[in-house]
Amino acid sequence: MDTGKVAKPDFSDLSALFINTTLTRSPAPSHTQLLIDLSAGIMAKQGVSVDQFRAVDHDIATGVYPDMREHGWPSDEWPELFPRVLAADILVIAGPIWLGDNSSQTKKIIERLYAHSGELNERGQWLYYGRAGGCLITGNEDGIKHCASNVLYSLQHIGYSIPPQADAGWIGEAGPGPSYGDELPDGSRAGLDNDFTNRNTTFLTWNLLHLAALLKRGGGFPAYGNQRREWDAGARFGFANPEYRS
- What pLDDT digit, counting tens, does each position of 77-122 carry? 999 999 999 999 999 999 999 988 999 999 999 999 999 999 999 9
- Residue-by-residue DSSP string for 117-145: TT-B-TTSSBTTTT-EEEEEEEESSS-HH
Pairing of strands 132-139, 90-98: parallel
Whole-number Å distance between alpha carbons of 245 and 65: 33
pLDDT per position as a tens digit, 6-47? 778 899 999 999 999 999 999 999 999 999 999 999 999 999
15-19, 201-205, 238-242: range with lowest mean pLDDT:
238-242
Q: Answer yes or no: pTM beyond 0.85.
A: yes
Going along the chain from its start, the domains and CATH numbers come out as 15-245 (3.40.50.360)
